[in-house]
Amino acid sequence: MHAVEALLERGETPRELWYQEGVAERRLGELLARAEAAGARLVAQPREVLDGLAQGASHQGVIAFCPPLEAQSEETLWHRLGGWPHAEPPLLLVLDGVTDVHNLGACLRSADAAGVHGVVVPKDKSAPLNATVRKVACGAAESVPVYRVTNLARALGRLKGAGVWVLGTAGEATDDVFAADFARPVALVMGAEGKGLRRLTREACDTLIKLPMAGSVSSLNVSVATGVCLFEAVRQRRGAAGG
C-alpha cells in the first residue's frame, strides 16, 4: 500500500492496478479512488491471483503495474556534484556488495528518512531495483536518487577529489561512528553483511569507523547499521546548523 501511495503522491500513475476482491476492496477504497482518478485502470482479482503474482510476498491486497525503476548514470552523479544544488553539504550512502533486495530496500528507506542526497552502488555485485526493493523501501526507491557506477573504488577516488570525505565501516576500525565528522561533505560506505567492504573499496576510503558493540554479537544487519550511522549524521548536522 505504501509503495503505491508513494507513486501517486509523486504524480506517477500505474497503468493498471489489481486489487483483491471483498474485504481488501473496501479497505483500499480511498487508494483505489485516487488511482482511478489519476488514470489507472482498476481490475478486481481473487486473492489467489494476487498471491500467485506476488510469489509469496505480502501484497496487502493491491499490486501496481508500472515502468521499471532505473538507476541514474555515473555521469549524472558527477554533474550534480559539480553544481551542488543543496544548501547543506552532500551526504551520500555507498553500498558495496549489498546483493540482498530486502537489505537494499531497507537501506533506501533509512536513506530517505535521514535526508541522504543519493545512494551509490556498483554496476556489479549489487541488488537490482526490482519490485521487492520498491515494496520494502515504501516509496524511498522513487524519492532517493540511486547512482550506478562502473568501478566503485575509482568512483570513491573521484568523490575524494571533489572534496567528499569517504568514511568506510569495518569491525576492526579504531574509531567509532560517534567520533566521525559528518558535518562536512561525506560519503558513508557500507559493506555486505558478513563479507564487509571489499579490499579495493576499503583502501579507497579516507578512514574507517565502526559501531561500538556491547553485546555478544559481532555485527548488525547492514540495513540496521546503515540506519544507526546515518542518524548520527543527522544528529551532528542538526547541531552544526543550530550552532
Radius of gyration of the chain from its Cα atoms, rounded to whole angstroms = 20
Which overall architecture, per CATH, does domain 2-65 show?
2-Layer Sandwich (3.30)
pLDDT of residue 242: 62
Q: What is the pLDDT of residue 218?
A: 64
Q: Per the annotation, where are the binding residues for S-adenosyl-L-methionine?
A: 191, 211, 220
C-alpha cell at 171: 569491525
Mind listing the pLDDT tens digit for each residue in 199-208?
A: 999 999 999 9
Q: Residue 149 pairs with which residues in a beta bridge? A: 122
**Under 8 Å between Cβ of 148 and 122:** yes
29-38 and 2-9 helices cross at what angle (nearest 10)?
30
216 band by pLDDT with thresholds 50, 70 and 90? low
| More reliable by pLDDT, 137 or 166 | 166
Helix axis angle for 101-113 and 222-242, nearest 10°, is: 10
Is 185 in contact with 233 (CB distance < 8 Å)? Answer: no
CATH code for the domain defined by 74-242: 3.40.1280.10
Long-range contact set of residues 123-127: C-beta below 8 Å, sequence gap at least 24: 123/148, 123/149, 123/150, 125/96, 125/97, 125/99, 126/95, 126/97, 126/98, 126/99, 127/98, 127/99, 127/100, 127/101, 127/103
Residues 143-184 pLDDT 10s: 899 999 999 999 999 999 999 999 999 988 999 999 999 999
Cell 515502468 locates to: 67
Report the binding-site residues.
191, 211, 220
Closest CA to 231 of 174, 197, 193, 188: 188
Summarize pLDDT for 112-125 with one digit per residue, the tens.
999 999 999 999 98
User: How far is it, in rounded angstroms, from Cα 152 to Cα 16?
Assistant: 37
Question: What are the extents of the domains in the chain?
Answer: 2-65, 74-242
**Which tens digit of pLDDT belongs to each residue from 171-180?**
889 999 999 9
